[in-house]
Amino acid sequence: MNPVTNFDTKKYGYVFNIQHYSVHDGPGIRTIVFLKGCPLRCQWCSNPESHQLTPTLAYNNNKCIGIDECGYCLKVCPVSAIERNEEDNKIKISWQVCDNCLKCSEVCPSNALTPYGKLMSVKEVIDAVEADSVFYSRSEGGITLSGGEPFFQMNFALELLKEAKKRRINTAIETTGYTNWTNLETLCQYLDTILYDIKCIDSGKHKKFTGVSNEKVLDNFKKMCEAFPNIVKIVRTAIVPGFNDTNEDIIEIINFIDGLANVQYELLPYHRLGQPKYEYMGRKYVMGNVKLDDNKMQTLITLVKNQFFFTDKLS
């Protein structure tokens, strides 16, 4: 099955996860809809399965029951990207050869081969979200669009938010802000809360670690604060060792957002929970074994508490 690409993007989109009962991504208890596709390549990304728009093959060696016992995937691969791994008699994939047709995942009996992501309709997604509505009314929660970068599927994201609003569901988005102003302005009309990543102020460093410069991100944020003063904006910075973990990095961000309308600020600690997914997709995790120093994180939290209104979810 080659990924479907000729569909109505106002009715369907690629989703790689719907996470229920989240308390970290917006007010109250929320349902997080993770959309595929992202224009950034942050070195520390914990959702690498989101990068590509269409479903992506993943192979978990621990789940393979062995070539002699099974071997179905070898027989269906049209480009001979799968071969025997002589070390454990399971399979190994030549990722350079694989064209991501996903045929192997359809015959794998143990889900060792699976696609990250699937095509869903607006109705399917919002029905799944609305099933949690009893939690929203008690906690002022709702839906949060995340990713990837939700703006990468602009039409789909817009229709999801419209449908959520039609059903009186509180709405939020988690975004890198890396989109054009017209897109952001359009979605803001259907949003109650925006969780907005500001990773660092230095554009050269931003480009080196994420693949894109940040002028658009910062310009969009300022415009949004002026045009939509009533929307709650929660700026978030993931603290990444060797990238933005100095006092100077955070003070620059505080100076940028200080005085803008309806803005809160959160720091998030770097973690490596996404590392196995790189391996499943045959990709290298470039951060290696880097760890965030707890004391440094605490110092930055104190710095923000002293200099800015801080929504503290860490202590």
Beta-carbon contacts of residue 90 (< 8 Å; ≥ 6 apart): 61, 64, 66, 67, 112
**Binding-site member from 33, 35, 112, 120 for ligand SF4 (CB under 6 A):** 112
**Binding-site member from 39, 71, 241, 269 for ligand SF4 (CB under 6 A):** 71
Residue with Cβ nearer ligand SF4 (77 or 200): 77
Residue among 37, 76, 279, 263 nearest 156 (CA): 37
- Under the binding rule (CB under 6 A), the answer on residue 79 touching ligand SF4 is yes
Residue holding tokens 């605490």? Answer: 298
Please count the residues of this chain forming the interface with ligand SF4, following the rule CB under 6 A.
29
**Binding-site member from 29, 32, 104, 172 for ligand SF4 (CB under 6 A):** 104
Beta-carbon contacts of residue 175 (< 8 Å; ≥ 6 apart): 149, 150, 151, 184, 194, 195, 196, 197
Q: How many helices (H) and strands (E) does the chain have?
A: 11, 12
Residue with Cβ nearer ligand SF4 (130 or 279): 279
CB 64, min distance to ligand SF4, A: 3
- Under the binding rule (CB under 6 A), the answer on residue 110 touching ligand SF4 is yes
**Listed ranges 7-15, 101-109, 202-210, 292-300: which one lies at the site for ligand SF4 (CB under 6 A):** 101-109
Residue with Cβ nearer ligand SF4 (3 or 27): 3
**Binding-site member from 102, 191, 267, 301 for ligand SF4 (CB under 6 A):** 102
CB 110, min distance to ligand SF4, A: 4
**Which residues between 5 and 64 bind ligand SF4 (CB under 6 A)?**
57, 64
**Binding-site member from 73, 143, 160, 194 for ligand SF4 (CB under 6 A):** 73
**Binding-site member from 29, 35, 45, 77 for ligand SF4 (CB under 6 A):** 77
Using alpha carbons, list the distances in angstroms from residue 85 to 53, 61, 91, 92, 272.
Answer: 30, 10, 5, 5, 27
Q: Decide if 33 contacts 130 (C-beta within 8 A).
A: no
- Under the binding rule (CB under 6 A), the answer on residue 113 touching ligand SF4 is yes
Rounded-to-integer distance, Cα 233 and Cα 303, Å: 20
Residue with Cβ nearer ligand SF4 (114 or 193): 114
Q: Note if the bond before 142 is cis, omega within 30 degrees.
A: no
Judged by DSSP in three states, 61 sits in helix
DSSP-assigned beta bridge partners for residue 119: 14
Q: Which amino acid is at 210?
A: T
- Under the binding rule (CB under 6 A), the answer on residue 98 touching ligand SF4 is yes
- Under the binding rule (CB under 6 A), the answer on residue 101 touching ligand SF4 is yes
Rounded-to-integer distance, Cα 196 and Cα 218, Å: 10
CB 65, min distance to ligand SF4, A: 5
Structure tokens at 201: 């102020």
**Listed ranges 33-41, 46-54, 95-103, 139-147: which one lies at the site for ligand SF4 (CB under 6 A):** 95-103
- Under the binding rule (CB under 6 A), the answer on residue 81 touching ligand SF4 is yes
C-beta neighbour count of 270 within 10 angstroms: 19
Residue with Cβ nearer ligand SF4 (93 or 126): 93
Rounded-to-integer distance, Cα 184 and Cα 177, Å: 8
- Under the binding rule (CB under 6 A), the answer on residue 103 touching ligand SF4 is yes
Site residues, ligand SF4 (CB under 6 A)? 57, 64-65, 67, 70-73, 76-77, 79, 81-82, 90-91, 93, 98-104, 107-110, 112-113
